[in-house]
Each structure stands twice: as C-alpha cells, then as structure tokens.
Structure 1
Amino acid sequence: MVNPEQAQQYLSGQGITLPDFVLAALVDQVNGIEECLSQHYAASTAMLIQLYLLALMGLGQGDKYLSSQTAPNGAARSFRYQSFPDRWKGALNLLRGLDKHGCAKDLIPPDPTAAPAFAGIWIGKGGCMSNGGR
C-alpha cells in the first residue's frame, strides 16, 4: 500500500506536483487495486506498479518536469518541457511492462495523446433538374 508521503516523494522526483487533496484521491484509487496486486506480485513490485500508475494519473496535470534544482543559499529550480506524448507513452510502457496481470488496467486514464480517427465515405449525387426533371 502506498501512503501519501511516498507518493509525494516519488512524484516530486518525477517533477510532478499535485495539490494534497488531489494526491490523496489518487492514492486512494491506486490503493484500491491492492488485493489484485498482492495476489500476483511481491510487495516491491506491487508498489512500483502503484507508483507508475500514480505517475500516469499525475502526468495529466501538465507536461513540465524539474530539470535541475539548487539549494542551500541560491535556491533555484529549472523546469524543462518534454513532449507530453513521449512522457505519457514512457510511463504507460513502464506500467504495462510490470503489470502482467492487468491489475491497474481499469484505472489507466484514456490516452490523451490519441487523435480521434475519422473515416467514412462521402457520396455525392447530383444532377440537373430542369424542364420537369428531363
């Protein structure tokens, strides 16, 4: 089971910052698959699956990540913006590669990078209707 402090520490390391109330709700969600995880995985693997799932859920909040951080005295933080589709697919692949039993699949958010596909056949029929339809 992941606690909010562990989740916050992991997400911060990934450059994802969430308000406490959002983090609490996401932690509740990922802890909801604990029974399935404990049936199929060692505790350490289960925790990684939950953390990767948290990252996927948190990535929907934005696509910036922490690129450098300096402290004592000259506190500075730099952020870099990576391609959101690349980050999404990377996190999703980590999760799917680890969760062979599909415990987290129902909680994975829909892929926000997927463009809707539109296909169809447009048929137009035209003609000249003058002189009474002749």
Structure 2
Amino acid sequence: MTITVEQATEYLASVGVSLPDFILSAIVDQANSVQACLDEHYTPGVALLIQCYLLGLMGLSQGDRYVSSQTAPSGASQSFRYQSFADRWRGLMGLLRGLDTFGCAAALIPQDPTTVAHGGIWIGKGGNFACGGGR
C-alpha cells in the first residue's frame, strides 16, 4: 500500500511542515519508490510509519521553518518557529532508523544538513591591492 498525497499532507501538517503541492507530490513519489522493499520486510503499519518519517525528513530538509501555532475562525493567525531544526532532524532520523532495520529508505534519506560543513575561499588576483598597510 503506497502513501497518498492526502495522507502525506495530513502527516506533514501535524508536524508543522507545509510544502507546495508540486514538491509534496515529488517527495511522495520518492517515498513510494521503496514500497516493494517495505512490503517484503514490514507489516503495512510499520511500512506506513517508515514512509511518514521519510516524508518528514524530506520535508524538513526543504527548510527549517515550521508552523508552531494556527488560529482560525476568522481571527486568522499563523506563527512560525525557526529553532531546534537539528533536534527535529535527529528525532525523525531516530524514528526512521529504528523502524527501517532493512534500510529500505536509506538511499532516499537527504544528507544531514546539521552536519554539513560550510566553507569558503576568497581568491583575489590583481596588481594594486594592499591589505593592512600597503607598500
């Protein structure tokens, strides 16, 4: 049984992740691409949870903004949080890895953005550039 876009939307909304429909459709297709492996190794309930956690990781990797509260009946309001992305990432990874002991979803897990080293180099070439004193 594959996960539907509607189920994915409901799950992601419950964890505060909102994605455009075209992105959501693409990540649902990716999550469903491991269905044969899931069917071979897991019960339908565990397979569904693995797909949900995978979708959560893919959704979280789109950015670290998530909905923290919503209000409606026309006092429309929505609040966002930007903190603790690394903790949310690690929590979902733990849930996914704890269930997916056969590694069905391993190839689709996005690179961990909390451990990616960022670096840069600045190279300049020219004749009249002086730094800290000059000639």
1:108 aligns with 2:109: yes
Give the alignment's Cα RMSD to 1 decimal.
1.5
Give 1:62's aligned residue.
63
Q: Which runs of 4+ in 1 moved over 2 A?
A: none
TM-score where L is the length of structure 2: 0.81
Aligned-partner Cα distance in 2 for 1:73–1:108: 39
Per the alignment, in what secondary structure is the counterpart of residue 57 of structure 1? helix
Partner SS, residue 102 of structure 1: coil
Contact 1:65 1:82 in 2 (8 A): no
Paired residues of 1:18 and 1:58 also in contact (CA < 8 A): yes
What is the distance in 2 between the residues matched to 1:72 and 1:57? 31
1:96 aligns with 2:112: no
Question: In the alignment, residue 94 of structure 2 is paired with which amino acid?
Answer: N
Q: 2: distance between equivalents of 1:115 and 1:29?
A: 23
Q: Displacement of 1:90 after TM fit?
A: 1.1
Report the counterpart of residue 48 of structure 1 in structure 2.
49
What displacement does 1:115 show?
Answer: 4.1
Deviations 1:46-79 (A, max 9, x none): 0110010001011111112222222213121111
Q: Unmatched 5+ residue regions in structure 2?
A: 118-135
Q: Which residue of 1 aligns with 2:35?
A: 34
What count of residue pairs does the alignment treat as equivalent?
117
Stretch moving more, 61-70 or 7-16: 61-70
In structure 2, C-alpha distance between the alignment counterparts of 1:24 and 1:110, rounded to whole Å: 20
Amino acid of the residue matched to residue 69 of structure 1? Q
Q: Rg bigger for which structure?
A: 1
How many Å separate the matches in 1 of 2:63 and 2:79?
A: 15
State whether residues 56 and 91 of structure 1, in contact with CA within 8 Å, keep that contact through their aligned partners in structure 2.
yes
Give structure 1 stretches of 5+ with no counterpart.
117-134
Q: TM-score, normalised by structure 1?
A: 0.81
Paired with 1:56 and 1:101, the residues of 2 have a C-alpha distance of 18
Work out the percentage of aligned pairs sharing the same amino acid.
Answer: 59
Please name the residue that 2:122 is paired with: none
1:24: which partner in 2? 25
